[in-house]
Amino acid sequence: MRTELKRVLENPNHNKKQLLKWAQSFREVVFLDSNQYHQNHSSFDWLLAVDAFTSLKTDYYQAFEDLHQYQSQTKDWLVGYLSYDLKNATEKLVSENGDGLAFPDLFFFQPKKIFYCKDNVLTVAYLYCCDDEMESDWAEILQIHPTEYNSKPALTIQQRISEKEYAERFEKMLAHIQRGDIYEANFCMEFFAENAKIQPLSVFQQLNAISEPPFATFFKNNYHYLLSASPERYLRKEGSTVFSQPIKGTAKRSEKPEEDERLKIELARNEKERSENIMIVDLVRNDLSRTASINSVQVEELCQVYSFKQVHQMISTITAEVSEAIPPVELLRTTFPMGSMTGAPKISAMQIIEELEVTRRGLYSGAVGYFSPQGDFDFNVVIRSILYNAQNHYLSFSVGSAVTAKAKATDEYAECLLKAKAMRQVLGDK
């Protein structure tokens, strides 16, 4: 079905930039970049997929069934996203808050052309219908001079709710916890700009450069864009093993090495942050057990602190073994949305989130990733991400934090602003 060839790259970072600029002429683009972040579970350093041969676009109704049929019939590379509102397909939930972005609930496509690099070896895989273009495309790519972007758009970013209203809604969330309705919930707020005109590739490259996360994404579907600097993996399937790596727990970085190390140690020892993380680990273990082989769910890593350019994060790794008889899409359906973006118990948390948040999440806190021809997959969590509709010039990014019984509104609000810092910076917000 595909013609493949391999090339050894002498300057993979330069070639990556050439490919990404070349890709901009296509209607559909997905670029996934690990930024060479050390990972135990990764199939490639970066991947670029362009130009839909077939595609699936749908709202939440029967979305997982449609995706299962598409993936099982295609048995090829598929790239795309699951929006948060697919929760409405698996539970009796609704999404009625405002939405300025108007992204479809689910979108995947089968790329005609795909490039992925591992350890400086580039694999190029074209469908038979266009494999006669491989050599001419590569010659064209090598002639491209990547643009170095330094200028930023000068946008005025607005908050959807004020600090005062955030505190009021936070207290209502806390009241639910004190009543025992939930133990924890992820409470988010939106930042937005109207009449926004940006160069999406420029903004992505600057965001990626200042964050260098392991799950960066540039996504384009016609006039819908996602520019993501996500540090979090949602779910990966590799053979018979699945991995989930929820993040709960954030601390700022310092330019002073001694202070930076102190902040890292304080995060590792912080009882509130550890309790948040452990609650979500229990939720993920429960989600994975719905499809896992008996007694195969394991916590490989608990509350480990990792350092990124912008923040320290507390990450846990949960693994499970699954039978070959279970379809790949079923593994997603039974665990989506990810617990780190909902709370516990999951359904109650999602109901309360819908009640207290004022913006429809859409693709934010959903997932972007790929299926391989073998049925393996890897999906990130859409956080630290800018969403943009180039047709109506609406730009949006959301940030959130976990609310638990010990949480304080002032602390969680400050954490939200910390998470928003990189996105505001690349958008030129004053």
**Model confidence pLDDT, tens digit, residues 161-186:** 999 999 999 999 999 999 999 999 99
Predicted confidence band of residue 291 (pLDDT cuts 50, 70, 90): very high
**pLDDT of the residue at 148:** 78
**pLDDT of the residue at 36:** 84
Is the pLDDT at 150 greater than 90? The verdict is no
Predicted confidence band of residue 40 (pLDDT cuts 50, 70, 90): low
To the nearest whole percent, how much of the chain has pLDDT over 90? 93
Predicted confidence band of residue 151 (pLDDT cuts 50, 70, 90): confident
Find the mean pLDDT for residues 58-68.
97
Rounded CA separation 37/420 (Å): 22
Output the six-digit token pair for 144: 């491209």
Is the pLDDT at 155 greater than 70? The verdict is yes
Is the pLDDT at 430 greater than 70? The verdict is no
Is the pLDDT at 209 greater than 70? The verdict is yes
**Model confidence pLDDT, tens digit, residues 234-289:** 999 999 999 999 999 999 999 999 999 999 999 999 998 999 999 999 999 999 99
**Domain architecture of the chain: domains with CATH:** 2-426 (3.60.120.10)
**pLDDT of the residue at 41:** 75
Q: What is the pTM of this model?
A: 0.96
**Model confidence pLDDT, tens digit, residues 123-146:** 999 999 999 999 999 999 999 999
**pLDDT of the residue at 322:** 98
Find the mean pLDDT for residues 210-233.
96
